Amino acid sequence: MKYDEEKKKIEFDAHIFHEGNHFRSYSFLGAHINDDGVSFRVWAPNAKGLSVVGDFNNWDQNSHRMEKVNDFWILQIDGIKKGEKYKYVIETWSGEKLVKSDPYALYSELRPNTASIVWDLENYSWNDQEWKANKKSYEPYKNPMNIYEVHLGSWKKPQGRENFQTYRELAEELPKYVSEMGYTHVELMPVAEYPLDDSWGYQGTGYFSATSRHGIPEDFKYLIDELHRYGIGVILDWVPGHFCKDAHGLYRFDGTTTYEYSNPLLGENEQWGTCNFDLSKREIHSFLISNAIFWMKEYHIDGLRVDAVSNMLYLDFCKESSPELKNKDGGNQNLWAIDFMQKLNTEIFKEFPNALMIAEESTSWPNVTKGKKENGLGFNYKWNMGWMNDVLKYMELDPINRKFNHNLITFSIVYAFSENYVLPFSHDEVVHGKKSLIEKFPGYYVDKFASLRLLLGYMMAHPGKKLLFMGGEIGQFLEWRFYESIEWQLLELEKHRELQEFVKNLNFFYRKEKSFWEIDHSYEGFHWLEANNNDCGVVSFMRKSEERDDFIIAVYNFTPVHYSKHKMGVPRFVDYEEVLNSDISKYGGEGRVNLEILKPRWGGVDKELCHIEINIAPLSVIYLKPKF
């Protein structure tokens, strides 16, 4: 009788799943522990037959055969418990037998092993009630957001061990460090289970399974709990566009293109050696949106950075043009992907109104952070890849040539408020021969440190939220290596300690000053003071808060020339005080600062009616505040 009731329930779930509206599909698919044992359910619509194998039946493909209900295969196995390893053996109509991990597994074997493990997520008591209560009134647009991007496997490697820090070990150090450095959020590179370390987590197999490299699911919950206890929001890097082709994963799951597009021009992702999810299938909508909600509900994740959005949006992304790569209107936009993203964001914000949904979208696709009514995709943030590319290209130039490329440092304001942006210096910019941040800059050893302080000071005052990949804050000279720890030993050297101190103080300065983030998405919060001084290489602007008298003037010298009495326009005839200077000695500079109050004088410079004279060190950033 109980089994008949279960089949009826599956019929109901199946209807919603096929409609693309089952946003808790993990609640009925996968392996679920019950009073008698474990219920197994898997979607494999085109399979000829399925069985469950594991240690409990000596991996015998014939002992536990599943029954097909609708497009799902089900089986109750009594007497087995949490911790049992299992897989599905799928018999195809061509006679193949595929041995697959469970797409909905909650836990997986440590690579190179690939079995799923029966688990539940009930055996953990959360302690982040205060965090959750505060989040109800959190408004991301009017609050600081300074993100520390972390690859858990290489943040710190345990001494004398070849494996990784556990989630518990990370929880002892990472939250404290991030908090002490003044960051507001961490962004964790993909933690959903993946087979190959070299993929950094971007080629996944277990979308509902936190990687076993660092421990069990309860331990990952503990890490998030500790981050919340320290007041740190947690953003998860999420990969809904493509998946790896390993035999035990989603690839040709039931012998057919179950999860990927059937047309190889759409399904095969040759640039990454992966397969693209078929976003035209409503079942894939149910799978992926369920997964996004799963991480937020079950693991208390605060937001998702959605990877490779452009790859989903364009039918011909990184491909040769073809008539087959056109939509019904003749364009190259993937209308299925647009529909999926609009639905994804609608459902996320319906259940988690203050979530962060951040698109890594590398083209000029319009309205990424606008709603469906405005033909938008519905995200609330987008990485500003244009700003990142321009500013790094500019900083890599020999200073003598920067005056011929001045627009690279100023053009971003033209479009800075067209979307809600995050300014990213991510892991992608410090690998594959691109060099580490500090090694990108020309000049001598001390010039590189000065340039990095300048770059980070420019990012901090520029409109948009902030993101820095781990290692950048200590001036790591080597490119990031996923198999090695950050070069923490560099902090034994004075220049690296001084840089870290600068980043820490800069982070806390940003958090304290409302003018840097209160009006972050509107021209009302920004005013150019000096934008066109190509020859001099000095740039300055004002950032404003909602209070009329609360503003900061940010001044940048992108040349190695010292200007002891630089004349610059100011917006108000009031005294000004230097509140931050990257050239002070404790940050590794030479102390060319403005100790005295800066008195304004009448007389126009640029479009301002009054001006000050200011001492600006080479390759430095200065912040000024008015004294009323």
Q: What is the rounded end-to-end Cα distance, in angstroms, of the chain?
A: 80
Kindly compute the dihedral angle of the four CA atoms of residues 516, 522, 527, 528, in this order, to the nearest 10 degrees.
100
Contact 456, 503 (CB under 8 A): yes
Q: How would you classify the pairing of strands 356-359 and 37-43?
A: unpaired
> Which among 312, 497, 479 is positioned nearest to 488, based on CA atoms?
497
Residue 421: phi and psi, rounded to 5, are -105, 150
**528, containing H or E segment:** strand 526-530
Q: How far apart are CA 181 and CA 492, in angstroms?
A: 18
**Burial track 82-110 (b if 16+ CB lie within 10 A, e otherwise):** eebbbbbbbbbeeeeebebbbbbbbbbbe
Strands 67-69 and 72-78: antiparallel
CA-wise closest residue to 311 among 270, 281, 348, 342: 270
Q: Is there a cis peptide before residue 353, judged by omega within 30 degrees of 0? A: no
Task: Taking the CA atoms of 157, 160, 166 and 168 in sequence, report the sign of the dihedral they define.
Answer: negative
Catalytic residue among 84, 360, 513, 578: 360
* DSSP states along 72-130: EEEEEEET--TT-EEEEEEE-TTS-EEEE--TT-S-BPPTT---EE---S-S-----HH
- Report residue 328 as tokens: 């019904």
Distance of CA 332 to the CA centre of its chain: 26
Structure tokens at 221: 């919950």
Amino acid at 449: F
Pair of tokens at residue 475: 């001036």
Could you give the CA distance from residue 602 to residue 34 in angstroms, rounded to a whole number? 80
On whether the CB atoms of residues 392 and 435 are closer than 8 A, the answer is no
User: How many CB atoms sit inside 10 A of residue 550's CB?
Assistant: 16
Q: Which of 305, 309, 306 is nearest to 317 (CA)?
A: 309
249 phi and psi, to 5 degrees? -95, -150
Burial of 501 (0-12, 13-18, 19+ CB in 10 A): middle
Of the CA atoms within 13 Å of residue 230, those in its CB half-sphere come to 24
Integer Cα distance of 233 and 243 in angstroms: 27
CA atoms in the 13 A half-sphere facing the CB of 546: 6
What are the phi and psi torsion angles at 282 (to 5°)? -65, -30
Tell me, yes or no, if 307 is annotated catalytic: yes
Q: Which of 102, 278, 307, 520 is catalytic?
A: 307
235 three-class SS:
strand
Cα distance between residue 406 and residue 538, in whole Å: 10
Give which of 107, 111, 109, 95 is closest to 49, Cα–Cα: 95
Active site residues: 307, 360
